[in-house]
Structure 1
Amino acid sequence: MYRRMSPTLMNLCVVFLLLTGGQESAPVEAESLLEELCDYVRMLHDKTQGLLDTYLLCQGSPFNGSDFSTEGLWLNGLPRASIPYRAWRNMTDGQRLLENHQAYSIFQEYLQLLLDDQRELSPNQTALLRLLTELHDDLTPLLRRLTAALSVFHQARPSPVEDPLRSLDVPVPFQRRLRGYLILREYRLWLTRSQRSLAVMMSKTPRVQ
């Protein structure tokens, strides 16, 4: 003959199951989100293969010349992908997610600026304009995934990025074309950095069987 479990004991069992279930689901959710982020960033990186060459080719002379170089040039306001290795290696997972969210929030504004410039400067380059539109639009799902990952890793939502373009003037066409190249160059470098950062995070996330 079976005895009925007391309400108190039953409640304790339910609480225990809920707590242990949450503990097991957290690593699963973290691993799933990181894998999804890794796949998405890899896809974005693949889409930028040949992007810089395509952009320069569409800008005409002197951009499409063999001796064109932007070494040493930098656009103020862009987030820098370059960082000392020790500083990068010692970042916490939360710091990595936050810096990526901030960087791509800024790039979303700069890619819109680039797209607006090219619509005016290169209106007949439909293939390039389509690619630039995709690059800009792809950042919305990326930022949404980064926001979800921040929540899983118990990081506060980042503050809205101030308008990074508020002090930009309207330079001559040559400078606008050059500015576009510098934006795309740093954007691709950031995608490379993001891949490395996510790989480090994945290596520390418990693998759930």
Structure 2
Amino acid sequence: MEVLPVDLPNLRTSSSHSQQGIASRISQAHHLSVSMQRGSEQLLTEYVLRQGIPFGNADFNPHVPDFPGLPSPALSQEAWKDLSDAERLQQDVMAFSNLPAFLSAVKRQQEMLNSLASELHRQLETAGMQCRGMASNLKSIMTAMGLMPEPAVPVEPPNPVENFSKKLVGYYVCQLYREWANRSEEDLALLATKYPL
């Protein structure tokens, strides 16, 4: 029986290139997450500015409810550490795959409620595009790591009738976008330590 020789240096080089490819994708996604953090803060500020009382009040801080299709970004430090890389990435993928539908719904509502707030409309549109870009980047990272992203769950954003309820839902969505931008930055920063450039 013939034994085929194995070129170990070439295998190591191939593995090194694979690791570098993953590291590069993670770095790119992390840079985007930092940009999204800034953008999400600006979006929430602009949104609150356009909604009137009580949204701008210092003591206005309603609890953000759960929305079907959007996993909660809030985890204790211990629970967050207990997640595997695959679980963190999958939660990020689900959130950023589904957030654009919620942001688009808020944009449509705000175009009716605040038709002249063009800057708010622009920021909502930009946020949706960045979410789609982030979801694509995260799926690319998972694939490069040999992980299979789960298919996105179809979502149906709430569409309340009353104007105040519409404003409140929009506030919740902007809050969730900011929280997921912060969460993804933490997830990717941790992952980057395992795949250094």
TM-score, normalising length: structure 2: 0.88
After TM superposition, list the pairs within 5 Å mapping 1:111-150 onto structure 2.
Answer: 111-150=103-142
Cα distance, 1:193 vs. partner? 1.1
- Unaligned 5+ segments in structure 2 are none
Q: Could you tell me whether the CA contact under 8 Å between 1:58 and 1:122 is conserved in 2? A: yes
CA-based RMSD: 2.2
2:67 alignment counterpart:
76
Q: 1:127 to 1:169 in 2, by over 3 A?
A: closer
Instruction: Kindly provide the amino acid, as one letter, of the partner of residue 98 in structure 1.
Output: Q
Q: 1:92 aligns with which of 84, 87, 90?
A: 84
C-alpha distance in structure 2 between counterparts of 1:46 and 1:29, whole Å:
27
Which position in structure 1 is the counterpart of 2:189? 199
Which residue identity lines up with residue 137 of structure 2 in the other structure? R
Q: Within 5 A, what are the aligned runs for 1:158-197?
A: 158-165=150-157, 168-197=158-187
Tell me, in whole angstroms, the C-alpha distance in 1 between the residues paired with 2:87 and 2:119.
Answer: 37
How far off is 1:62 after superposition? 3.2
Between 1:137-146 and 1:43-52, the stretch displaced more is 43-52
- What's the CA shift string for 1:45-92, capped at 9, x where partnerless? 11223332221111123333x355133342533431111222210222
- Seen in structure 2, the aligned counterparts of structure 1 residues 183 and 51 have a Cα distance that, compared at 3 Å, is same
Shift in Å at residue 119 of structure 1? 1.2
**Matching of residue 47 in structure 1 with residue 39 in structure 2:** yes
Q: Are 2:158 and 1:154 aligned?
A: no
Aligned partners of 2:159 and 2:32: how far apart in 1? 34
What residue is the counterpart of 1:108 in the other structure?
100
- Please tell me whether residue 30 in structure 1 is matched to residue 22 in structure 2: yes
**Contact 1:94/1:153, CA 8 A, preserved across alignment:** no
1:5 matched residue in structure 2: none
Aligned with 2:41: secondary structure?
coil
Whether the aligned pair in 1 keeps the contact of 2:40 and 2:177 (CA below 8 Å) is: no
Aligned-pair identity (%): 20
CA shift, 1:18, in A, is 5.1
Return the alpha-carbon distance in structure 1 between the equivalents of residues 119 and 98 of structure 2: 24
Which amino acid counterpart does residue 126 of structure 1 have in structure 2? Answer: S
Deviations 1:20-48 (A, max 9, x none): 33211111011111111110110111122
Contact 2:142/2:148, CA 8 A, preserved across alignment = yes
TM-score, normalised relative to structure 1: 0.83
SS at match of 2:36: helix
